[in-house]
Chains A and B, each alone.
Chain A
Amino acid sequence: MLNYISGIMPALLSGTRMTLSIFFWTLICSIPLGALVGLGLITKFKPLAWILNLYVWLMRGTPLLLQLIFVFYGLPLLKPYAIIFPRYQAALFAFILNYTAYFGEIFRGGFQSVPRGQFESAKVLHLSYPQTIRKIVIPQVVKIVLPSIGNEVINLVKDSSLVYVIGLGDLLRAGNVASARDVTLLPLVLVGIIYLMLTAVCTIALRMIEKRSSVWR
């Protein structure tokens, strides 16, 4: 059995690499984008807020699976304006679009929960708007949104398995292929264990970040 495990491990690890790659690039792009969308959602410039609200509504109101299929299989059918993404790019595009909407909504709440008095306090001390955002608002928002962002990060680890549907070789696919070929449950168990380890690492990392930001209240 150990022989069997070490035999399929390379395939599973290569699948894990794909999963992690989707995970990291989605996070790296959609957290900053989400912060911008969050600011946009509360802007006084109504047309922008309106468009962003529509975007958030669409992304959160439809399944991510549908969005993936739409981007990869749907957009190429859009004659004569077919947009054709390679598989990996299609997956990233759909994930970033989807997660930016979720993060945007989280950041919107974060920005709104910084009391107005903090802005006024900064104003009478003559701090500029960028200085206020950087030194006062962002640290407070980060602390507020951290738990919700954490939830989404864990979700993303698992959601990344949806790329399976457009034929990307991620962890789940690697396990599924091995399981079907060798008619055994073992690869799926291993896949489960790897997902558990990934989410455990995320949870510990998030705890550490939360602890660091708990020196003040």
Chain B
Amino acid sequence: MLEVKNLTKKFEDRLVLNDLSITVPDDEILAIVGPSGAGKTTLLRCITGLETPNQGEFFWNGKQFDPKNNDLIGVVFQDYQLFPNLTVMQNITLAPTMVKKEPLKEVKKRAEQMLTQLGLQGKEDIYPFQLSGGQKQRVAIVRAMAMNPKILCYDEPTSALDPALRDEVAKIILGLKQSEGMTQLVVTHDMDFAKNIADQIERVKALS
């Protein structure tokens, strides 16, 4: 269970998040919805340690954790941010081998499995520029999953995609819930998409 308690974030004098608390039970999917500029990305960036909140505490299964330093959370960015100079496989294996010092062979084996599950078999040795947007996103998901996170965060996973691919993404997210028991936070401004995937919907309102 992920708990965020009393999260407040200001940019200069501008209040973006005010005393916000959320709870996400294990295996569940929380959709964070709201209009553009409401602070959805900021909320996600606080949870993933990319912004420092002015106030707020974070707990995983009752134990407090530091968003900037934990191995609980994986992130799938809105623009994916794959490393363009590395192949698909290198993108995935880089962190597990360099950070966790896992043997390359094992990481590769797991990566192959996940790539195949997501229909990316045969793409291991090509570079990100050779992938479509949807494929990039799936590689970004596999890259995040390769670090074995407990929580996976997505910022606007449908915004850069062809509308026809929306259901594909929903299927992947729901699939990860089922097969991996992944707790997932999904920021979106697409209400239909949110209703499709979420166990719980958190509405973020613009404050100023």
User: Which residues of A does B touch, CB under 8 Å?
Assistant: 115, 117-118, 120-128, 131, 135-136, 139-140, 143, 215-217
Contacts and interface: CB of A to CB of B under 8 A. Distances in A.
B77 A121 contact: yes
Contacts, number: 61
Interface of B: 48-50, 71, 73-75, 77, 79, 81-86, 94-95, 98-99, 127-129, 143-144, 147
B75 A124 contact: yes
Given A124-B73, A143-B85, A216-B127, 20 more contacts: A118-B81, A118-B83, A120-B81, A121-B77, A121-B83, A124-B74, A124-B75, A125-B94, A125-B95, A126-B71, A126-B95, A126-B147, A127-B98, A127-B99, A131-B99, A135-B83, A139-B85, A140-B85, A216-B84, A216-B85
B4 to A, nearest CB: 17
A214 to B, nearest CB: 11
B99 A125 contact: yes
Contacts of A131: 98-99
Contact of B94 (A117, A127, A128, A216): A127
A215 B85 CA distance: 9
Contact of A120 (B77, B86, B129): B77
B99 A117 contact: no
A170 B147 CA distance: 58
A117 B85 contact: no
Contacts of A128: 99
A114 to B, nearest CB: 10
A121 B75 CA distance: 8
B94 A135 contact: yes
A217 B98 contact: no
A21 B31 CA distance: 64
Contacts of B82: 121
A110 to B, nearest CB: 13
A124 B129 contact: no
10 closest pairs, A vs B, by CB?
Answer: A121-B81, A125-B95, A139-B85, A216-B127, A217-B129, A117-B81, A124-B75, A126-B99, A216-B85, A136-B83
